Each structure stands twice: as C-alpha cells, then as structure tokens.
C-alpha cells in the first residue's frame, strides 16, 4: 500500500506483529487510530482532523511533521510511552500532559 496517503472516515487499529506502511500517510480525517504495544511511524502525517489517536500498552507514535490538528483528541493509556513530535516544538507525552 505505498500509494496510501490519505485516510477519511476510517478506523485503524495497529497491534501485534502485523504490518501496515504508515510513514506515507499525510492526512487523517474523521477516524480513529489505535496503536497497542508497537511503535508507529507517522512521519509523513501533516494533518489530523476530527479524529482520535489512542496509544496503549507500550505503544508509541512519531509525528515530526504534524502541523495541522483540528478537532482531534489524543489519548495515552496503560502507561504507554507515547512520543508525539512536532518539527519546531517537540513534546513528549508519558501518560500525562506536559
């Protein structure tokens, strides 16, 4: 799925050893992304709109190019060491708001 760059009204759950290329996704709109116990590379993501991201059970997410977040929620559960990065203002979330 290397051509997959935009997700609209889609719910995605990433867990276990399954594979789905995620670094090319640039836009996520109106859906839910859940990662459980795995690292997810969303380095191509620039827009996250009206969506929810949930990081659970040791999972982590890398988003160095995310510049547009509108009407979205971010959840960190089960002491997951989530890492959400912005190119100009990196922020690390470790189960609490900083």
Provide the pLDDT for residue 4.
87
**CA–CA separation, 63 and 93 (whole Å):** 12
Of residues 85 and 66, the one with the higher pLDDT is: 66
Confidence check: pLDDT of 91 > 50: no
Q: Do residues 76 and 58 make contact, with C-beta atoms less than 8 angstroms apart? A: no
In this predicted structure, what is the pLDDT of residue 95?
Answer: 38
| Residue (of 49, 55, 3, 50) closest to 24 by Cα position | 3
State mean pLDDT over 24-47. 92
The pTM of this model reads 0.77
């Amino acid at each position: 799925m290397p051509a997959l760059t935009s997700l609209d009204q889609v719910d995605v759950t990433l867990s276990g050893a399954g594979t789905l290329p995620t670094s090319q996704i640039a836009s996520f709109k109106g859906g839910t992304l859940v990662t459980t116990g795995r690292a997810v590379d969303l380095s191509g993501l620039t827009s996250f709109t009206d969506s929810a991201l949930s990081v659970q059970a040791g999972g982590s997410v890398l988003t160095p190019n995310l510049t547009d977040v509108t009407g979205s929620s971010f959840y960190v559960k089960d002491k997951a060491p989530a890492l959400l990065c912005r190119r100009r203002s990196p922020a690390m979330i470790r189960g609490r708001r900083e």
